[in-house]
């Protein structure tokens, strides 16, 4: 089944303790992205990747890191989490980052992160 898989679904951590949220897609998509969802703000893009070893900042990249060493994986790293990073995080992928009729985003089921 074609899907985007995020882990974990729920995570509670303390300020300053490094964590990684994993994201994997099995559709051979070139483009992957991370979003955070906060009430009243919709989805805001954190980082995106057009292809392996190509990443770039989205609208709210501060406090986050990403890597794209393989096409299927795009982990989100919080080196020193803070309470304002408490949010619902979504990983998404699409076939291509360039103009294409068939490039809607496919989303994972989300990771709810709480930083105390």
Nearer to other proteins, 2 or 16 (CB): 2
Upstream peptide bond of 8 is cis (omega within 30 degrees of 0): yes
Nearer to other proteins, 36 or 78 (CB): 36
| CB 28 to other proteins: min, Å | 15
**Residue 78, H or E segment:** strand 76-78
Neighbours of 88 (CB within 10 A): 14
- Phi, psi (degrees; rounded to nearest 5) at 7: -145, 145
Would you tell me which residues interact with other proteins (CB under 8 A)?
A: 4, 31, 33, 35, 40-45, 48, 50, 90, 92, 94, 96-101, 103-110
| CB 16 to other proteins: min, Å | 29
Nearer to other proteins, 16 or 104 (CB): 104
**Do the bridges between strand 4-7 and strand 106-107 make them parallel or antiparallel, or are there none, so unpaired?**
unpaired
């Amino acid at each position: 089944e074609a899907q985007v898989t995020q882990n974990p679904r729920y995570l509670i951590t303390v300020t300053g303790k490094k964590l990684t949220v994993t994201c994997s897609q099995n559709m051979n998509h070139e483009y992957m992205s991370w979003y955070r969802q906060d009430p009243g703000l919709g989805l805001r893009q954190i980082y995106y990747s057009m292809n392996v070893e190509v990443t770039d900042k989205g609208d709210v990249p501060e406090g986050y890191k990403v890597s794209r060493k393989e096409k299927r994986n795009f982990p989100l790293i919080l080196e020193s989490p803070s309470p304002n990073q408490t949010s619902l995080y979504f990983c998404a992928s699409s076939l291509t980052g360039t103009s294409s009729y068939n490039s809607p985003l496919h989303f994972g089921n989300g990771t709810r992160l709480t930083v105390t």
